[in-house]
Structure 1
Amino acid sequence: VIISAKEEQDASISPAMDGLLRVHKRIIDGLDGESGHAPPSGGGMISTRLLVAATQAGSLIGKQGATIKSIQEASNCTVRVLGT
């Protein structure tokens, strides 16, 4: 899935981020109510993979991992950057 949009200066959240969140919500809510795609019950683990260009991985990780650590602490989730 590729999500792209022209940025809007006045938007509180960028259109691309809004689209990404909507796609993710659709996935975890289950696609069209199909039982084979239903989310896990009882607070199970949900994982999402996001393809990031190698040229942008450094800014995601941050100096000595500071950016990714901040994201993990603010969101209470685990973020792993897998090598190529």
Structure 2
Amino acid sequence: MQTPQSYVIESIRNFDGTAHEREGTEKGQRVEILRCGVGAPMLVCYRDDGNKILRTSPIVSIGGTWKYPGGLVVTTKNTVYTFGKGAE
């Protein structure tokens, strides 16, 4: 079992680079990534929104980001999520 990691949502983008419809309302929110593995949906708990859970489409790739040290870029079948390292 993975230990949840705390992050801040920096961006939610469509594959064409445009902002996803949720980016405007969710950017800057603190989240805990509960599950994150290639081939499986990512599970994210919104710490600032009553512990609401997001279940994404299956993950295609996971990588780091130079723009947000300690951050994470998760590419799913439909969307690219960028997370900055959040306060614990």
TM superposition score normalised by structure 2: 0.26
Report the structure, 1 or 2, having the larger strand content.
2
Report the structure, 1 or 2, having the larger helix content.
1
Report which of the two structures shows the higher radius of gyration computed on alpha carbons. 1
Structure number with greater CO (CA < 8 Å, separation at least 6) is 2
